[in-house]
């Protein structure tokens, strides 16, 4: 009677257990379960050095959910471009900021354009290095389902063309033309225009003007040789000739000169390229020289452009003026 149950239990732990076959050892009453269930063990990184001026820490802010943060980060980077232009930060900065072409906020996109301008004014070579990703994202923006992003995509294109026109037109001539046509609503396959394009066209002609400008620049850089463009012709030609003829085995002046051969790119195989029509064959075509570009343009795009330009010229206004310029350019190039 005197001993409580707890005391008895305590005593039990010190009693000698009778062994029995097939009976496992009983657990002590005060045994603690130390097992744990976890798929991964995460160990925090040791941050030994905390550099407040380390800009790499700010790179992740480019993906921040708050619009203002993204915009301000872009502005910070833009301000510090002169100091970091030759550092290692540039590559991650560009790879992380280029996806902002498809950002939903207009301010962020504007900030990105400013940043690109800043970089281009300091060192255009850096932009040329990342030309590929640029074109991919611009293309994506051109087909984006939000019409605002679509409308802004040509701005990026024209700014990019300013700095690395040669690379852009060489690598993705047909692709970009397709994109610009899509933005302008000049459908090639169907007879109908895209619904979103119809709406924006009604609403404001400002965007059309920008698109037409971009197209003008594209055609100018793509189809017109440098002499006609008014570049210092003598030096350019002599330089090109000399480099082509005299030093074919020296280091080329542009990065990845053999990229168009697609030796090291991952790509999905196309089962039957002929089945998809001329556009697909053109897309796979390498447009390295002016002649091919011209041929592709005149074959695929010229009739549509001429037809559409007439309509815009008739409507007049700012757009009409730009369209007229474009018409003149086309007449000059394809006479």
Query: 161 with 120: CB under 8 angstroms?
Result: no
Of 120, 179, 222, 320, the one binding other proteins by CB under 8 A: 179
Binding residues among 212-271 for other proteins as defined by CB under 8 A:
266-271
**Cβ 238 to other proteins shortest distance, Å:** 37
In the complex with other proteins, the residue whose CB is nearer, 133 or 313, is 133
DSSP state of 44: P
Residue 128's Cβ-side half-sphere holds a number of Cα atoms within 13 Å equal to 18
Residue with tokens 């991919």: 136
Q: How far is the CB of 202 from other proteins (least distance, A)?
A: 9
Asked if residues 323 and 216 have their Cβ atoms less than 8 Å apart, the reply is no
The C-alpha atoms of residue 36 and residue 32 are separated, in whole angstroms, by: 12
Least gap, CB of 152 to other proteins (angstroms): 15
Which of these segments, 128-136, 297-305, 316-324, 325-333, binds other proteins (CB under 8 A)? Answer: 128-136
Nearer to other proteins, 12 or 247 (CB): 12
Closest CA to 326 of 217, 185, 231, 183: 217
Alpha helix (H) residue ranges in 172-269: 173-184, 195-203, 205-223, 226-229, 233-246
Cβ nearer to other proteins, comparing 129 with 333: 129
**Nearer to other proteins (CB atom), residue 139 or residue 322:** 139
Length of the chain as a residue count: 335
Question: Which residues within the stretch 58-97 sit at the binding site for other proteins (CB under 8 A)?
Answer: 59-60, 88-89, 91-92, 95-96
Report the chain's C-alpha Rg in angstroms: 31
* Binding-site member from 55, 69, 84, 133 for other proteins (CB under 8 A): 133
In whole angstroms, what is the distance from residue 106 CA to residue 307 CA? 32
Out of 78, 124, 194, 304, which residue is the one contacting other proteins (CB under 8 A)?
194
Residue 215 phi/psi, 5° resolution?
-65, -40
Distance CA 159, CA 35 (A): 60
Residues 6+ apart with CB under 8 A from 78: 111, 114, 115, 118
Write down the least CB distance from residue 225 to other proteins, Å: 30
- Residue 12 or 233 with smaller CB distance to other proteins: 12
The residue from 136, 302, 313, 329 that contacts other proteins (CB under 8 A) is 136
Q: Which is nearest to 152 in space by CA: 94, 204, 211?
A: 211
- Verify binding: residue 37, other proteins, rule CB under 8 A: no
Q: Please, what is the minimum distance in Å from the beta carbon of residue 160 to other proteins?
A: 15
Among 4, 30, 34, 40, the residue binding other proteins under the rule CB under 8 A is 40
Tell which one of 178, 213, 287, 322 touches other proteins (CB under 8 A).
178
Other C-beta atoms closer than 10 Å to the C-beta of 283 total 15
Phi, psi of 216 (to 5 degrees): -60, -45
Interface of this chain with other proteins, residues 273 to 292, rule: CB under 8 A: 275-276
Task: Read off the tokens for 135.
Answer: 């074109």
Sites of contact with other proteins (CB under 8 A): 39-40, 42, 45, 56, 59-60, 88-89, 91-92, 95-96, 99, 132-133, 136-137, 139-140, 142-147, 178-179, 182, 187, 189-190, 192-196, 198-199, 266-272, 275-276
């Amino acid at each position: 009677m005197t001993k409580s149950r707890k005391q008895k239990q305590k005593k039990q732990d010190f009693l000698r257990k009778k062994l029995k076959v097939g009976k496992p050892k009983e657990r002590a009453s005060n045994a603690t379960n130390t097992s744990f269930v976890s798929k991964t063990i995460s160990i925090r990184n040791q941050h030994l050095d905390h550099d407040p001026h380390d800009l790499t820490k700010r790179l992740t802010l480019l993906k921040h959910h708050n619009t203002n943060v993204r915009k301000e980060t872009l502005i910070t980077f833009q301000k510090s471009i002169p100091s970091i232009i030759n550092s290692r930060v540039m590559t991650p900065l560009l790879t992380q900021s280029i996806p902002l072409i498809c950002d939903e906020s207009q301010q962020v996109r504007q900030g990105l354009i400013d940043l690109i301008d800043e970089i281009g004014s300091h060192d255009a070579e850096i932009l040329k290095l990342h030309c590929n990703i640029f074109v991919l994202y611009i293309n994506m923006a051109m087909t984006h389902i939000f019409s605002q992003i679509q409308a802004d995509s040509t701005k990026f294109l024209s700014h990019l063309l300013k700095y690395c026109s040669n690379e852009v037109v060489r690598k993705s001539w047909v692709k970009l033309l397709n994109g610009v046509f899509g933005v302008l609503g000049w459908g090639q396959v169907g007879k109908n225009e895209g619904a979103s394009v119809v709406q924006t066209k009604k609403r404001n002609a400002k965007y059309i003007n920008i698109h037409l400008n971009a197209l003008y620049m594209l055609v100018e850089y793509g189809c017109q040789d440098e002499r006609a463009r008014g570049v210092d012709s003598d030096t350019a030609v002599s330089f090109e000739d000399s480099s082509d003829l005299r030093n074919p085995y020296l280091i080329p002046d542009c990065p990845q000169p053999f990229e168009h051969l697609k030796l090291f790119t991952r790509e999905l195989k196309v089962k039957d390229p002929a089945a998809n029509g001329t556009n697909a064959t053109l897309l796979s075509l390498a447009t390295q020289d002016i002649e091919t570009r011209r041929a592709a343009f005149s074959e695929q795009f010229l009739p549509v452009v001429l037809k559409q330009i007439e309509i815009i010229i008739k409507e007049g206004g700012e757009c009409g003026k730009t369209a007229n310029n474009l018409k003149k350019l086309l007449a000059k190039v394809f006479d």
